[in-house]
Chains A and B, each alone.
Chain A
Amino acid sequence: MATAVKQRSDVILDYIRPRKKFPSVWCAGCGNGIVMSALIRAIEKAGYSKDGIAMLSGIGCSSRMPIYFDVSALHTTHGRALGFATGVKFARPELKVIVITGDGDALAIGGNHFIHACRRNIDITAILLNNYIYGMTGGQGSPTTPSEAFSTTTPYGNVEKHFEPCDLAAAAGATFVGRTTVYHAPQMEKLLGDAMAHRGFSLVEVVSNCHTYFGRLNRQGDAVSMINHFKEQSVPVAKSRKMSPEELEGKIVTGKLHEVDKTEFCDEYQRVVDAVQGRN
């Protein structure tokens, strides 16, 4: 008997355009695909309709993701995905706006858009796929490349300090900040669901593997060894509170790092419009 019963693992195929672009453009073992499947399962679990989602991205490896989704997608200019997303959300507040962005896209080219989207607290879910390097253009050092790590533009080790995207977002005013890795796929699914349910700017940083450039230049091996490296290096947020800063050096703190309630930008704007028009 063929499997007439629909299984939960099959929902992945409902939300993608299978005849369009598959197999995907990413390298074998790239963590972006793991994020894509976790995002599909989170969307399906939350029950959002395909018409109610707008997915935006900039330029980069991770930003190729929306073209595989069977939702309204907008592939924008480099770094400006959050700027476009602000416009989409402002024009159509009923849409669930999801932004897929990479570390270079969000923090280097679109750094200003990133902090100002956090500051406004507009209801956007930003998913930042952090692979520590510019993978698409040949392995240049990005703002999140760790100190002393190697890339094609830092052949003797990176002398700069790196950004912590979660700390930056929380300081700039984002109201939901979480971090996870591609090894922790079930946790990622839950965190993405929480971030989409949150009203306000939510950032989920997913530490991903670029074994083609970062792993090769830093001798971290193939996809499997990098994913197992994330498993060893990650610390749950509850455990990390009991650890000293020296012990947390080089560790990846995973979980929901920051959540506060603040007024959302579209609500606040509507309140002002109603007050000026004398509706209340």
Chain B
Amino acid sequence: MTDASPAGPSASKPAAKNKYDYTNGPPPLSINMAWCKACNICIALCPKQVFEPDRDGKPIQARAEDCNQCTICWVHCPDLAITSNYK
């Protein structure tokens, strides 16, 4: 298993509750803070409550280990500021 590859269902850690394991790789999402306008859509639509607003209202990945790459945040980002590192 390479260091950054997403751990699939057949990974060696069956106890992981998520489809992806972020302990060795990059965080689940990349957020371009220069393009983000703090519209709150990703924070409100995320079903796993991964994001928390920082003091400007922009999202930070507070619970990154809960992210299951459902694509809702970057599909609904109006400023193209979120990209996934895994999908």
Please report the C-alpha to C-alpha distance between residue A29 and residue B65 in the assembled complex, in whole angstroms. 26
CA distance A37 to B77 in the complex (A): 8
Task: Report chain B residues within 8 Å CB of A222.
Answer: 40
Find out whether the CB atom of A33 lies under 8 angstroms from the CB atom of B3: no
- Residues of the A chain whose Cβ atoms lie less than 8 Å from the Cβ of B44: 224, 228
Query: Does the CB pair B83–A10 fall under 8 Å?
Result: yes
Given A1, A2, A29, A183, which contacts B78 in the complex, CB threshold below 8 Å?
A29
- Measured between alpha carbons, how far is A96 from B66 in the docked complex, in Å? 41
A-B contact count (CB 8 A): 91
Tell me the nearest residue of chain B to A35, going by C-beta.
Answer: B78
User: Lowest 3 CB-CB distances: which A-B pairs, in order?
Assistant: A33-B78, A29-B39, A28-B37
A30 to B80, CA, bound (A): 12
Partner of A36, one of B35, B39, B80: B80
Q: How many residues of B contact A (CB 8 A)?
A: 29
Q: In the complex, what residues of A have CB within 8 A of residue B77's CB? A: 33-34, 37
Q: Can you give 13 contacting A-B residue pairs, CB < 8 Å?
A: A1-B25, A2-B26, A7-B86, A7-B87, A8-B87, A13-B80, A23-B35, A31-B78, A34-B75, A34-B77, A186-B75, A223-B39, A224-B44
Give Cα distance in the complex from A158 to B40, angstroms.
30
**CB nearest to B38 among chain A residues:** A28
Identify the B interface with A (CB < 8 A): 3-4, 25-26, 34-41, 44-45, 71, 74-87
Flag if B40 contacts A30 (CB, 8 Å).
no
Cβ of A156 under 8 Å from chain B: no
- Taking CB as reference atom, which chain A residue is nearest B72? A185
**Distance between A241 CB and nearest chain B CB, rounded to angstroms:** 28
Neighbouring B residues of A183 by C-beta, 8 Å: 76
The reply to whether A23 and B40 contact each other, CB–CB distance below 8 Å, is: no
- The answer to the question of A9 belonging to the interface, with a C-beta cut-off of 8 Å to chain B, is yes
A270 contacts chain B at the CB level, 8 A cutoff: no
Q: Whose C-beta in chain A lies nearest to the C-beta of B74?
A: A9
Q: Which residues of A contact B85 (CB under 8 A)?
A: 3, 7
A1 to B77, CA, bound (A): 26
CB neighbours of B36 from chain A (8 A): 23
Residues of A within 8 A of B79 (CB): 22-24, 28, 33
The answer to whether B83 and A22 have CB atoms under 8 Å apart is: no
When distances are taken between beta carbons in the complex, the residues of chain B under 8 Å from A7 are: 83-87
Shortest beta-carbon distance from B64 to chain A in Å = 15
Q: How far is the CB of B82 from chain A (nearest CB, A)?
A: 8
8 new A-B contacts, CB < 8 A, other than A2-B26, A3-B4, A24-B80, are A1-B26, A7-B85, A28-B37, A30-B78, A33-B80, A38-B75, A186-B75, A227-B41
A32 at the interface (CB under 8 A from B): yes
Residues of B near A257 (CB, < 8 A) are none
Task: State whether A23 and B34 are in contact (beta carbons under 8 Å apart), knowing that A1-B3, A7-B85, A36-B80 are contacts in the complex.
Answer: yes
Q: Is A48 an interface residue (CB 8 A)?
A: no
Interchain nearest-CB distance for B3 vs A (Å): 6
Residues in B whose Cβ lies below 8 Å from that of A29: 37, 39-41, 78
A16 within 8 A of partner (CB): yes
A231 CA to B49 CA in the complex, in Å? 19
Max chain B C-beta neighbours (<10 A), residue from A3, A27, A36, A38: A3
- Is there contact, CB below 8 Å, between A12 and B80? yes
Contacts of B81 in A (CB 8 A): 23
Interchain nearest-CB distance for B72 vs A (Å):
8
Residues of A within 8 A of B83 (CB): 7, 9-10, 12-13
